[in-house]
């Protein structure tokens, strides 16, 4: 995928993932920090969509942020840790229902 030049720096799907890995952030934590939805971060990492200029600038600011700045932003977003998992994974109940339905058919 071609990289696009922005005022704040270069953009590519790997930018988001590298920011998350460097600062040990979940997709949820990053999404809350920059003010977007979880699925939006997923789509950026897959290269399906790109953030608009304002959000892109907020994401690229995190490349220069240190640990204290990340902690401050996490607190502001209402999160205690960057990798805290939110509840159960989507689809878990659906799988259990399908498995139970298969058992009844036999």
> CA 63 to CA 56: how far, in whole Å?
11
Domain carrying residue 9: 4-105
What is the pLDDT at residue 40? 94
> Alpha helix (H) ranges present in the chain?
13-23, 27-34, 38-46, 53-61, 67-76, 92-105
Nearest to 42 by CA among 2, 13, 72: 13
- Any idea what the CATH number is for the domain that residue 49 is in? 1.10.260.40
Q: Exposed, middle or buried by CB within 10 Å (0-12, 13-18, 19+), for 101? A: exposed
Report the predicted TM-score, pTM, of the whole model to 2 decimal places.
Answer: 0.66
| Number of structural domains found in the chain | 1
Q: Which residue has the higher pLDDT, 61 or 94?
A: 61
pLDDT digits (tens, 9 = 90+) for 38-72: 999 999 999 999 999 999 999 989 888 998 888 88
């Amino acid at each position: 995928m071609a990289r696009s030049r922005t005022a704040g720096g270069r953009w590519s799907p790997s930018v988001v993932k590298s920011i998350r890995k460097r600062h040990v952030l979940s997709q949820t934590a990053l999404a809350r920090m920059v003010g977007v939805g979880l699925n939006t971060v997923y789509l950026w990492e897959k290269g399906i969509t790109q953030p608009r200029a304002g959000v892109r600038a907020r994401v690229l600011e995190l490349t220069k942020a240190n640990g204290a700045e990340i902690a401050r932003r996490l607190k502001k977003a209402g999160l205690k840790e960057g990798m805290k998992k939110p509840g159960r994974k989507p689809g878990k109940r659906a799988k259990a229902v399908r498995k139970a339905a298969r058992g009844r058919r036999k």
